[in-house]
Amino acid sequence: MTESPLLRVRDLRVSFKLDEGLVRAVDGVSFDVFPGQVVGIVGESGCGKSVTMKAILQLIEPPGRITSGEILYRQDAAQPSVDLAKLPTRGQAMRELRGADIALIPQEPMAAFSPVHTVGDQIVEAIMLHGRQRYGRPISRSDARGITVELFRDVGISMPEQRIEAYSWQLSGGLRQRAMIAMALSCKPRLLIADEPTTAIDVTTQAQILALLRELQRKYDTAIIFITHDLGVIAQMANYVVVMYLGRVMEEGPVDDIFHAPRHPYTQALLRSIPSMHGETRTALPIIKGTLPHPFNRPSGCPFHPRCDDIMPDRCTKAVPMLHSVAQQRAVSCFLHSDQAEPA
C-alpha cells in the first residue's frame, strides 16, 4: 500500500488513576489504518482494546487520561493530519469528527439508542447535525428522512418506512444492531469503529450482521477498526490484525500471517487453545497456563512472561520488548524476534 494511512496511532498510552493505584490500560500501542482497510484489534478482557477505541474517539473519562502518544487522523489527502490526542475532548473540532468522520457501532445498541425517541428520529437528528458538512448541501428534515429510509433498506431492514417509526425496544437484537449500523453510516464516515458489535447477539444473527458489514464496507470503501475477543470473527472480518495483551501490542500483521504464521508465543498459544470445528474431540486442549493478572498487579518486563512457555528468564522478566518491525507490514514485540527493549 503506497497511499498514506487514514489513521496513525503512535505509542499511545492511557492510564487510569484510581484509589488503589495507577492502571496503565493502554501502554504503548501503535498501528496504522489505511483507507478501505479492516483492522481487527483482538484480545482478552483487560487488554486495552476498548480503551484504545475510546482514546481514538476522545471518549476517555476521568480518572482516565491519555498520557502520551499520537493519534494522527488525516481528513483528506490535501490536508495535513490532525493529532486527535491533542484536541480538546469536548471541543468543536472533535465533535465534528465524532459521529461524522469517525462513527461508532457499540456493543449494546440498546444502550446507544434513546428509548423515548424513535430510531428514525435519532438518525434524522444525526444527519441534520452533520448534514451540511457531510453531504455538501443543506439537508432538510424530509431529505434526512429519505436518507434514513434508504439507509434502512441498505442495512437490510424490511419495511423501512414503518421501521423508522419504531422505538429501539420494539426491535429485536438483530434489527437494533442493523439500525445502529444505519446510524453509524448516516454521515458517510471515513472510519468506522465497531466495538464487539456482535457479542450480544446469536450466531445466526451474527453471521448476518458480519456479512452485512463486509458488504457495506466493500460498497462504501470505509475503513473499519473491528474490536473483538472472538478469533473466528477476526479471521472472517479483518485484513490486518493487531493482537493485544495487557495494554500492549503483542504482534500485528496481515490476517493470513497472524493465523497461519503467528510469531508471538501469546498468539501461537491462543490459537492452539480454541476448540476447532474439525479437530479431535474430548481430549485435553493445549492451554495457556495461569490467569490474566490483575490490572494493579502487572508483571514486570514483558506482560506475558509469567504465562509464556518460551520465557527467557533473565531477559523477559526484566525488560519490556519493543514492538519491532520484522517484515513489511509485520511487527512483533518479543525478545525471541528482536532484542530491542523499551527504554526504561
Partner 1 sequence: MSDAQTLSAAEDRIAVASNWTLVWWRFRKHHLAMISAVVLICLYVVVLFPDFFSTQNPEQTDARQAFIPVQTLHFFDDGGLNPWVPVIVGKRNPVTLRMEWTVDPQRKVRVSFFTHGNSYRILGLFPTNIHLLGATDPGQRIFLLGSDRLGRDQWSRIMSGTQTSMTVGLVAVTLSVILGVVLGGISGYFGGILDHVIQRLIELLQSVPTIPIWLALSAALPRDWTPIQVFFAITVILSLIGWTTLAREVRGRFLALREEDFVLAANLAGCSRMRIILRHMVPTFLSHIIATSSLAIPVMIINETSLSFLGLGIRPPAISWGVLLQEAQNIQTLALAPWLLIPGLVVIVAVLAFNLVGDGLRDASDPYSH
Partner 2 sequence: MTTTPLLEVRGLRKYFPIARGLLRRVVGHVRAVDDVSFTVQEGETLGLVGESGCGKTTTSRCILRAIDPTDGQVLYRTRSNEVVDLAPMSRAELAPLRRDIQMIFQDPFGSLNPRMTLFDNVGEPLLVNGMRRRKERMDRVADLLRLVGLRPEFMHRFPHAFSGGQRQRIGIARALATSPRLVVADEPVSALDVSVQAQVLNLLLELQSTLRLTFVFVAHDLSVVRHISDRVAVMYVGQLVELAPTSAIFQRPRHPYTAALMRAVPVPDPRVSGTDMILRGEVPSPAAPPSGCYFHPRCVFAEDRCRQEAPVLRELTPGHSARCHFAEQLTLGAGETVAAA
Of partner 2, partner 1, none, which one does residue 277 interact with (CB within 5 to 8 Å by kind)?
partner 2
Rounded Cα distance between 214 and 212, Å, is 5
Tell me the three state secondary structure of residue 330. Answer: strand
Measured in degrees and rounded to the nearest 5, phi and psi for residue 76 equal -155, 170
CA angle 228/230/231 to nearest 5° reads 110
Of partner 1, partner 2, none, which one does residue 260 interact with (CB within 5 to 8 Å by kind)?
partner 2
Question: Which positions ≥6 away from 138 have C-beta within 8 Å?
Answer: 131, 132
Of 240 and 304, nearer to partner 1 (C-beta) is 304
Is residue 307 part of the contact set for partner 1 (CB under 8 A)? yes
Instruction: From residue 33, give the alpha-carbon distance in Å to each of 12, 38, 180, 294.
Output: 15, 8, 23, 30
Q: Cα 31 to chain center, whole Å? A: 11
Task: Find the shortest distance in angstroms from Cβ 23 to partner 1.
Answer: 12
Of partner 2, partner 1, none, which one does residue 142 interact with (CB within 5 to 8 Å by kind)?
none
Of 92 and 283, nearer to partner 2 (C-beta) is 283
Task: Find the shortest distance in angstroms from Cβ 289 to partner 1.
Answer: 6
Is residue 159 part of the contact set for partner 2 (CB under 8 A)? no
DSSP 8-class letter at 4: P
Residues 8-27 that bind partner 1 (CB under 8 A): 19
Pairing of strands 191-195, 38-42: unpaired
Of partner 2, partner 1, none, which one does residue 202 interact with (CB within 5 to 8 Å by kind)?
partner 2
Task: Find the shortest distance in angstroms from Cβ 317 to partner 1.
Answer: 11
Rounded Cα distance between 303 and 4, Å, is 32
Residues 242-261 that bind partner 2 (CB under 8 A): 255-256, 259-260
Of partner 2, partner 1, none, which one does residue 325 interact with (CB within 5 to 8 Å by kind)?
none
User: For 73-112, b where at least 16 C-beta lie within 10 A, e where not — what string?
Assistant: bbeeeeeebbebbebeeeeeebbebbbbbbbbbbbbbbeb
Of these, 3, 291, 313, 328, which contacts partner 1 (CB under 8 A)?
291
- Which x/- pattern over 304-333 shows residues binding partner 2 (rule: CB under 8 A)? ---x--------------------------
Contacting residues toward partner 1, per CB under 8 A: 19, 289-291, 293-294, 296-297, 306-307
